[in-house]
Structure 1
Amino acid sequence: MASFGWKRKVGEKVSKSAVQQFEAEAEKPEKDPKDEKVDWIHVIKRRREVLLEDCAAKSKRLKAEGEVLAEQGRHWEAVKKWDEAIQLTPDDPVLYEIKSQVLTILQEVFPAVKAAEMAVKLRPLWWEAWQTLGRAQINLGEVDLAVRSFQVAIHLCPSERSLWQEDLSWACRLQKQHSAAKEKSQQEEEAREQIVNAPEFSRDYDDFESDEVLAACVAVAERQTRYEEMKRTAVVVDADGNVTTRVTDAEGSEDTASSLSMEQFVKARGF
């Protein structure tokens, strides 16, 4: 009985050299994967690049979502989105700048200034960041610093008319008003001191019905009248920056004070 074997096709032959090469390769020991050298520095750099790409993409998405929320008036939700984006890309000045705008609207004056300062630090030649910083500083009451910030913005972008016509002129008017109000307050304090510590009260009078006593009383009364008029005087700065004073009655002064306290010096730029 014939034995079974693998049958080659007719005419198919295997050369001796091919057989020897196959046997030689079969005798070679298998390579241990541990013996292969791996460029771990390259692997780590590549992994970091991929991670940064993912962070940048997610940060961009969060920034866009925050802008939509801000346009809808949902300011706190927008700030939360931008804070998450800042955690992913802390060197993005745009995130700090738009965050400062919304914080200014929310009357979060100090955080708004800090965010704008960070934007300016990251991109010192960005005029819009200096503009936002100046507006935040005015809302904080730092008018002198705001004037300087607007001047830097104008130096970086002198063709932007809003910086000249709105921001800087607005800050200069407030600066003059603050200076005039400070001077008026000093004058009131000096007038009050002259009333309390009147020189006529420092001497003794022998006859209380004499002309000297009458003149002293008249002088004190005149000082008191000037002091009361000074308290009713309001400092007004017109559109051209001219400082004037206006005397109002007690009720008018109270109304003016309440209206000024309710006015919000906020000018936020659109996104």
Structure 2
Amino acid sequence: MASFGWKKKIGERVSKSAVQHFETEADKAEGDKQSQDEEVDWLHAIKRRKEILLEDCAAKSKRLKDEGTQLAEQGRHWEAIKKWDEAIQLTPDDPLLYEMKSQVLTILHEVFPAVKAAETAVKFRPLWWEGWQTLGRAQLNLGEVDLAVRSFQIAIHQCPSENTLWQEDLSWAWTLQRQLSATKEKTRQEEETKKRILNAPELERDYDFESDEVLAACVAVAERQSHYEELKRTTVVIDAEGNIRNVVTGEKGPEDTATSSKEQFVKSRGL
């Protein structure tokens, strides 16, 4: 009996110790689970907070964008730009804000900022034909005709059914491109003619002043001088049909009426 009682008491102590151990482990596990739950809730709260902030930024940006649009329609362009700049601070990847800003800057003749804003718009949305159209128009105002042609061509590639791109934007850009090419050619001719006047090959020889050769040399130099003066008075213009024409403006002055006829040179020799 004593032995049995001893075993029973030992067994009771073991059972209580085991139970206490299990209870401790259970409490620890529950505490860890609660801690994990609290950590998950904390992360979820941060994520939810960010979502709310993003939603607030998007809503405020839309409000500012709409206010800027109304101001632009009223002709209050600088106030509109200010609203859109505030919206850009909230949603810096919205291409529409940059595109509208570029349009208004073009109206205000702020040509370089207009190009930069349009470039940002197509950077964020490269498959947007209206963004490329706005960029092309801004580039035209900046004088970058070749770049404008390329931008309009990209816009047409994305939206070939848009008639304004064909009939207005690209057609006008091509006309300006031809005009620019004609102007460069005219400048080249002026420089070449001026060089031939200053370094006339006819004057490199020694002539007998009583010979016909010196008369021919003077006629050639005079005709070249007249051609140079005519080039200086010539302007490259675009007619109503979009054709490039060279128009001579102004009237000849006394210095332009160079004696280019052989008879007048003969009179000079007879004096």
Distance 1:66 1:210 in 2: 81
Partner of 1:85: 87
Partner of 2:224: 223
Give 1:177's match in structure 2, choosing from 168, 179, 195: 179
Matched, 1:246 2:222: no
Partner of 2:131: 129
CA gap 1:96/1:147 in 2 versus in 1, 3 angstroms: same
Partner of 2:109: 107
Distance 2:38 2:186 in 1: 81
Partner of 1:5: none
- Residue 244 of structure 1 deviates from its aligned partner by 2.2
For the residue of structure 1 that corresponds to 2:39, the secondary structure is coil
Q: Give deviations 1:251-271, integer Å, cap 9, x for gaps.
A: 9xxxxxxxxxxxxxxxxxxxx
Partner of 1:66: 68
Contact persistence 1:62–1:84 (CA under 8 A): yes
Q: Tell me whether 210-219 or 42-51 shows the greater mean CA deviation.
A: 210-219
Distance 2:154 2:241 in 1: 22
Contact persistence 1:176–1:237 (CA under 8 A): no
Contact persistence 1:130–1:150 (CA under 8 A): yes
Distance 1:124 1:171 in 2: 21
Partner of 1:234: 235
Instruction: Could you list the structure 1 runs, at least 4 aligned residues long, displaced by more than 6 angstroms after superposition.
Output: none
**Which has more radius of gyration?**
2
- Residue 217 of structure 1 deviates from its aligned partner by 1.3
Distance 2:241 2:156 in 1: 20
For the residue of structure 1 that corresponds to 2:164, the secondary structure is helix
Distance 2:188 2:195 in 1: 11
For the residue of structure 2 that corresponds to 1:234, the secondary structure is strand
Distance 2:48 2:106 in 1: 41
- Residue 68 of structure 1 deviates from its aligned partner by 1.2
For the residue of structure 2 that corresponds to 1:246, the secondary structure is strand
Distance 1:37 1:75 in 2: 52
Partner of 1:45: 47
Distance 2:205 2:214 in 1: 10
Distance 2:50 2:162 in 1: 40
For the residue of structure 2 that corresponds to 1:216, the secondary structure is helix
CA RMSD of aligned residues (A): 1.9
For the residue of structure 1 that corresponds to 2:245, the secondary structure is strand
Q: Tell me whether 102-111 or 232-241 shows the greater mean CA deviation.
A: 232-241
Q: Give deviations 1:84-113, integer Å, cap 9, x for gaps.
A: 100000010000000000011111111100
Q: Give deviations 1:119-156, integer Å, cap 9, x for gaps.
A: 10111111100000000000000001101111111111
Q: Pairwise mapping of residues 146-185 of structure 1 onto structure 2 (< 5 A)?
A: 146-185=148-187
For the residue of structure 2 that corresponds to 1:37, the secondary structure is helix
TM-score for the superposition, normalised by structure 2: 0.76
- Residue 250 of structure 1 deviates from its aligned partner by 5.0
Q: Tell me whether 228-237 or 85-94 shows the greater mean CA deviation.
A: 228-237
Distance 2:157 2:240 in 1: 23
* Structure 2 unmatched ranges of 5 or more: 1-30, 253-271
For the residue of structure 2 that corresponds to 1:38, the secondary structure is helix
Partner of 2:206: 204
Matched, 1:98 2:122: no
For the residue of structure 2 that corresponds to 1:85, the secondary structure is helix
